[in-house]
Structure 1
Amino acid sequence: MSQDYTFVADALKQGVPWVGTTGIDFIEVEGDRVLVELPDGEENRNHVGGPHAAVVFGAGETASGAVVLAAFSQHMDKATPLVARAEIAYRKVATGVLRAEAVLGRPAAEVVAELASGTRPEFPVHVTITNAAGATTAEMTVTWTLRPNR
């Protein structure tokens, strides 16, 4: 039986006010992979007609946060997830709807074991951002940590 991750979208939209204002749709949510979609809108565009770099980054970071919540929701009483750092490479101007697919870069069980051992784990989430035609427009890695709750 697979786990139910339907709570992730609501939790992010309520817990992270910015996410609730963007129009991001959570298309697929699994324990180690999330796909989000950001509708095309004039308010998100830059001077060349594509989505602003900050909007692209925000969609990718939101997808990465969703996969972290899905993977570690059962451990939120022990730790708080935080972004440690992020890197993005913009490959080409995006047009239309953006899709951001985030994939957990380490097995969740390995990260949880590190946390249980008293170490503050870091782990990557790899994100591929594509345009309406399915072409990759940006790639990013968001490195997360689980800060132990005191």
Structure 2
Amino acid sequence: MSFDVGAFMLQTVPFANTLGVVFDKVSDGYALCRLPDRADLHNHVAGPHAGALFTLAESASGAAMLSALGDQLSRAVPLATGATVRYRKLAMGEVTAEARLQVERAEVVGRLDAGERPEFEVAVELKNAEGVLVSEMTVSWTLRPNR
């Protein structure tokens, strides 16, 4: 990618900025992001609220997607079309989200070239500061061709 995907995400998705999502590494269908431990993001059991975790994971998935397909923005709009999430353990403290594109870039671009609206998934793992898996999320994306 020839642009800073993390900065682009924070500019175009202000809610991620509001929560303080940090984009630590973004490259080639991969993103590693984190959510700082802030009391104003906590739930009733003093961990990050499920909505904050969801936003972290969705932001990481968008960054992973854009790192591989951001050069297609001139001809298509990326849209999340769905997500499944599983909260496995109580998350406490800072949480990281590791996202990976689950399709080859060439397949998505090929479908765009064929005039189709590609749909694909990004898998995300959320871990606490000790590296323990606390949540998993799969985000479904599409690239809607510009009209």
Decide: shared fold, TM above 0.5. Answer: yes
Q: Separation in 2 of the partners of 1:77 and 1:64?
A: 20
Letter in 1 for 2:89: K
Q: Separation in 2 of the partners of 1:16 and 1:28?
A: 18
Out of 72, 77, 92, the position equivalent to 1:75 is: 72
Deviation at 1:10, TM superposition (A): 1.1
Deviation at 1:63, TM superposition (A): 0.2
Deviation at 1:4, TM superposition (A): 4.9
Are 1:56 and 2:85 counterparts?
Answer: no
Q: Separation in 1 of the partners of 2:20 and 2:78?
A: 23
Letter in 2 for 1:40: D
Out of 88, 93, 103, the position equivalent to 1:91 is: 88
Q: Secondary structure at the match of 1:58?
A: helix
Q: Secondary structure at the match of 2:110?
A: helix
Q: Separation in 2 of the partners of 1:81 and 1:4?
A: 18
- Superposed, 1:1-150 pairs within 5 Å as 3-4=1-2, 7-150=4-147
Q: Secondary structure at the match of 1:130?
A: strand
| Number of aligned residue pairs | 147
Unaligned runs of 5+ in 2: none
Letter in 2 for 1:93: L
Task: Note the alpha carbon deviations across 1:99-120, whole angstroms, 9 max, x for none.
Answer: 0000000011111101111111
Deviation at 1:45, TM superposition (A): 0.6
TM norm structure 1? 0.95
Among all aligned residue pairs of Structure 1 and Structure 2, give the percentage whose two residues are the same amino acid: 45
TM norm structure 2? 0.97
Q: Separation in 1 of the partners of 2:115 and 2:19?
A: 37
Task: Note the alpha carbon deviations across 1:23-71, whole angstroms, 9 max, x for none.
Answer: 1111111111100011001011111111111011000000001111111
Q: Separation in 2 of the partners of 1:140 and 1:118?
A: 29
Q: Secondary structure at the match of 2:115?
A: coil
